[in-house]
Structure formats: C-alpha cells, structure tokens
C-alpha cells in the first residue's frame, strides 16, 4: 500500500520519526506541497492512503485519485478536505482530536502572563544596559498586572477551555464559561456558566477556545467589544476568524481593549496589511500553541493509530460518516 504525506515538515521538522507509517506501507513524505491541484494530484498518484496538514484537497483532486481510500488529516480541523466529495468516493477521512489540549491551554496562559509582566521586553532592556544605568534598584516600563481575584471568561468550554480554566484557577482567577453545551458536572466547581452577555460584561480577561462555526465567526467584533469592561484583555489561540481584526485593532488603539494575545489570525501566514500588526499592546505569535514536541508526538502516534485502524477495517476518528 502506497502512503503519501503531502506536507510533513510542520508536524515533523526532523525531531520525530515517520517509522510508524513506514511500517504500514510504502511511504513518501513531501515536506511541503504547493497549493495547486495539478501538483497535488501528481503527488498523490496511485497512493491508497494520504496525509495532509494544510494542503487543500478539492473535490476535483479527490475524484481524480482513483486508488485513494483514506485521507488522514494531521490536525484537528479538517476544513482543507472536501469531505462531501470524499464521502461520495467512499474515502474515509480521519482527524486527530485532543492531541494538543495541554499545550494550547498552557500557551494561552503564557500569552496572558506575558501581557501582565512584559517579561521578554524587560529581559531585553536589561541586556541592553537599562538596569545597569538605573538609579533605583529596580524599574519597570509597563504597568504590571496581578491576576489573583480577577475574572477570566472562556468562550468555548470544551477540553482546551476546561484545561485553560484549571490553569487560570491555579492563579486565583474566577472562571466564567460560555458554551452551547453545559456540563452539569463542572458547574459550581469553580466554574459558572453564564450567557455571552454576562461573560462580556464581567470578564477582566476573555479567552477564546471555541470552534469556527457560522455562529462563532467574528464573535469578537465592534458590538461585542462595546459590551466588555474597559481595559479588557483578549486572548485567541483557537481560530483567527473568530475575531473581526479591524474592530479589535480600533479597540486596542482607543484603549477600550487593554491588550490582546493572539496566536492565530484570519489569514495565515499573516499578511503585511493586517491591521493588528500596527495596533498597540498586541502580541502576535505564528500559530505555535500546538507545536511542542510532546504535542506533535501525540499527533504522530494518533495518525499512525488512525491509519492502522483503517487498514484493519475499523476506522476511527472519522469525520465524514
């Protein structure tokens, strides 16, 4: 069985091994594949199993792959695959759920702590000699923020939202949660489910951990920002399209939003014209919340498990049933 990985570099830049997939068939790994249907189709060739991270698989590409029976997505999100066309061709599509819960939640808190303390900045200026030249025994160039007793509102209270809540609670924060599904086992145990309106109005920090659906796209916008506390901190390491970037940039400039910590933007890689690049008090990192070695190893292990289960006639984590 021929197996092709279309864009393996992000998952494995060299610190992991593809041995698990090599044991399942004749493996070809491309570090990157141009987003061009003809190139993608050529690289798929007569493979029976393929893996993609962000390389798009259009209906035309899927229908042209006559031997293709399985598509493994090396991520949780699977919007790069035309799953309807795959189902029509009786091709199984599997994703990788839950591999990055700990890493993504940890990163959200990392963004928050950087906003509160500006650790990177203060380290830089110490190395530049500013502390040495200071007449006092200490100095700080930004207001420092203590989180104990403040309120974090979490929009999207699935696995990652819950893990973020546990970390925030360890810092002494109160937790408000908004989700279409409410787990009664969690309610009252340091978490209070509220309406979106209440969360917006009472939170000192708002952290986004919801999927991208039509009703969540642009959930952070001019109208919802207007309902927030002055100086609120907004975190997003879920999906860039949850935020109307022009509106957030305006709110950062006006000071309505005190700071933002973002690991995702609407178009990735980020475009030079993105208004958030010029907005004050805005940390932007290049979509790396998920990318710890431990997280990527879990992803690799689950990708192999998914493929092995398919070959054994018991497909798992199927998204196009």
Q: Which residues are catalytic?
A: 239, 268, 287
Tokens of 217: 């796209």
- Residues belonging to the chain: 321
Report the DSSP beta bridge partners of residue 71: 50, 93
> How many CA atoms within 13 Å lie on the side-chain side of 317?
24
Helices first, then strands: H and E counts in the chain: 11, 12
Tokens of 244: 């109307």
CA–CA gap between residue 55 and residue 254 (Å, rounded) = 38
CB 179 within 8 A of CB 157: yes
Report the DSSP beta bridge partners of residue 22: none
**Cα angle, residue 92 at apex, residues 4 and 67 outer, rounded to 5°:** 50
- Torsion angle, CA of 197/203/204/206, rounded to 10 degrees? -80
Tokens of 44: 């798929």
Give the gyration radius of the chain's Cα atoms.
22
Q: How far is CA 85 from CA 47, 125, 316, in A?
A: 17, 55, 19
- Chain-centre distance for alpha carbon 23: 30
CA–CA gap between residue 105 and residue 50 (Å, rounded) = 30
């Amino acid at each position: 069985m021929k197996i092709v990985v279309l864009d393996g570099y992000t998952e494995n830049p060299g610190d992991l091994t593809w041995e698990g997939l090599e044991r399942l068939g004749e493996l070809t790994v491309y570090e990157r594949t141009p987003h061009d249907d003809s190139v993608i189709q050529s690289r798929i060739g007569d493979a029976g199993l393929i893996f993609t991270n962000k390389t798009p698989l259009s209906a035309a590409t899927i229908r042209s792959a006559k031997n293709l029976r399985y598509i493994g997505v090396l991520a949780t999100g699977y919007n790069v695959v035309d799953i309807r066309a795959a189902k029509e061709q009786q091709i199984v599509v599997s994703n990788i759920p839950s591999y990055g819960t700990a890493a993504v939640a940890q990163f959200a808190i990392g963004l928050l702590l950087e906003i509160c303390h500006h650790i990177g900045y203060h380290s830089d200026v110490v190395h530049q000699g500013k502390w040495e030249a200071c007449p006092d025994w200490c100095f700080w160039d930004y207001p420092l923020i203590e989180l104990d007793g403040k309120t974090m509102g979490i929009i999207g209270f699935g696995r990652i939202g819950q893990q973020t809540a546990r970390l925030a609670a360890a810092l002494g924060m109160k937790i408000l949660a908004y989700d279409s599904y409410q787990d009664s086992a969690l309610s009252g145990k340091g978490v209070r489910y509220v309406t979106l309106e209440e969360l917006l109005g009472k939170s000192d920090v708002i952290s986004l951990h919801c999927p991208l659906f039509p009703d969540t796209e642009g959930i952070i916008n001019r109208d919802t920002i207007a309902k927030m506390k002055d100086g609120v901190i907004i975190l997003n390491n879920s999906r860039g399209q949850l935020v109307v970037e022009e509106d957030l940039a305006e709110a950062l400039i006006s000071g309505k939003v005190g700071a933002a910590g973002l690991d995702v933007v609407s178009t990735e890689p980020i475009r030079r014209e993105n208004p958030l690049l010029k907005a004050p008090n805005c940390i932007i990192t290049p979509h790396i919340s998920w990318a710890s070695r431990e997280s990527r190893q879990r992803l690799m292990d689950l990708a192999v498990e998914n493929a092995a289960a398919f070959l054994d006639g018991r497909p798992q984590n199927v998204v196009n049933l």
